[in-house]
Structure 1
């Protein structure tokens, strides 16, 4: 699997893109770097693009560790964290559904949703652009 994390602090947005085989371990590593850089407190909107994953591997103990780390990072923040998963095919939807289950006890603070279209996910997050490519073009140089 490959994972790319683009943080847009000026927009309060992080875009996480996965492709290939999605694994919890690589997601955990990327998330820890995100938190260490201080972005968990400044980016309350998350777009997780799963449109290019081919498969999803979820070793349950690793998922529990990731969930605990994410809860520790997001729940102390004021306000809510919004997570929009772009999942246009069955394997992506399976991965997104598994990820959302982590937040079932915290739905007052973390608002996760699954979308088949980028435009719907971006709209949910309050982003005016309709595609990730449009968003990339709007980034300051």
Structure 2
């Protein structure tokens, strides 16, 4: 699966990394695992690292269906408080914009699309200056 997630329960942070082809079925499968994870909690900040995405599945109706199913699977009070997309490439920005558009007109989480790595981490409440540093911190201090 070309994506993974890691929860830092203390920070209420979920790090989601994509690489290669970002597919809708894989995203749905990962969301199901996340929603069932014992460290899942309402109001977590979701930090997406999209720097290694090389292709995005272009099926907007299927994507909207996934977004609707994901939103209905989580009670409104369990929604993430913020979605932060580190999107340093044109393709990554298009992927993040697709997500942003799916929330248009809905009462959902705050969403930020950021091209600068340190800024994306800071907006998500991290003190680390790089995703590599964040991953080392998470590995050395499991939740």
What band does the TM-score fall into relative to the shorter chain? 0.7 to 0.9
| Residues 1:124 and 2:123 are matched in the alignment | yes
Aligned to 2:137: 138
CA drift of 1:79 comes to 7.9
* Shift of residue 68, structure 1, vs aligned partner: 1.2
Q: Deviations over 1:38-70 (max 9, x none)?
A: 554345201111100111113223212221133
Give the drift of 1:4: 1.1
- Secondary structure, aligned partner of 2:76: coil
The match for 1:76 is 76
Q: TM-score, normalised by structure 1?
A: 0.87
Q: Mean Cα displacement is larger for which, 52-61 or 71-80? A: 71-80
Aligned to 2:41: 41
Residue 115 of structure 1 corresponds to which residue in structure 2? 114
Q: Which residue of 1 aligns with 2:31?
A: 31
Structure 1 residue matching 2:5: 3-state secondary structure: strand
CA distance in 1, matches of 2:118, 2:14: 16
Are the structure 2 counterparts of residues 43 and 64 from structure 1 closer, same or farther at C-alpha, using a change threshold of 3 Å? same
Structure 1 residues 135 and 27: CA distance shift in structure 2, 3 A: same
**Contact 2:114-2:120 within 8 A present in 1 as well:** yes
Alignment of 1:79-118 (within 5 A): 81-106=81-106, 108-118=107-117
Structure 2 unpaired stretches of 5+: none
Q: Distance in 1 between matches of 2:44 and 2:34?
A: 13
Rounded Cα–Cα distance in structure 2 between residues aligned with 1:30 and 1:79: 16
Match of 2:16 in 1: 16
Deviates more, 1:130-139 or 1:38-47: 38-47
Deviations 1:83-109 (A, max 9, x none): 110111111111110011121223x54
1:80, distance to aligned residue in structure 2 (A)? 5.9
Instruction: Return 5+ residue gaps in structure 1 as ranges.
Output: none
Change (3 A) 1:97 1:54: same
The number of residue pairs the alignment matches comes to: 140
1:119 to partner: Cα distance: 0.8
